[in-house]
Amino acid sequence: SQQGEEDPQALSIQEGENATMNCSYKTSINNLQWYRQNSGRGLVHLILIRSNEREKHSGRLRVTLDTSKKSSSLLITASRAADTASYFCAHPTSNFGNEKLTFGTGTRLTIIP
């Protein structure tokens, strides 16, 4: 399976603390994307980092990419209760010309007020 993995599977932290999630993937990539999903709803795109970028920021989000280790991390600083959600990494994969976006297994983040 080309599906990447994320760790931890679940994370609970106090409001105001920082949360770090990691994503590992198996193939070479053009870009890696992070999405958030609130309980049973659609996904919301957070950030896209290209393979030639090492770090990217968006508000309280910081994403890093290490293509040599085939891994990425998402850092959420100063967490809020509204950050409670599942977070997924995703990257394009190609198989004999058939392309798709492959999602990781996700990290369920719970922010404790």
Which positions touch another protein (CB under 8 A)? 3, 30-31, 33, 35, 40-45, 48, 88, 90-92, 98-106
Give me the least distance between CB of 38 and another protein, in Å please.
10
Which value, to the nearest 10 degrees, does the dihedral of the CA atoms of residues 87, 82, 46, 64 take?
Answer: -70
Measured from the CB atom, the residue of 17 and 99 that comes closer to another protein is 99
The encoded tokens of residue 110 equal 């719970």
Measured from the CB atom, the residue of 70 and 108 that comes closer to another protein is 108
Give me the least distance between CB of 15 and another protein, in Å please.
27
Which value, to the nearest 10 degrees, does the dihedral of the CA atoms of residues 54, 4, 90, 101 take?
Answer: 130
Give me the least distance between CB of 53 and another protein, in Å please.
13
Please tell me the number of Cα atoms within 13 Å of 33 on its side-chain side: 14
Measured from the CB atom, the residue of 55 and 99 that comes closer to another protein is 99
Give me the least distance between CB of 30 and another protein, in Å please.
7
107 Cβ contact list (under 8 Å, min separation 6):
6, 7, 8, 9, 10, 11, 21, 86, 87, 88
Measured from the CB atom, the residue of 31 and 64 that comes closer to another protein is 31
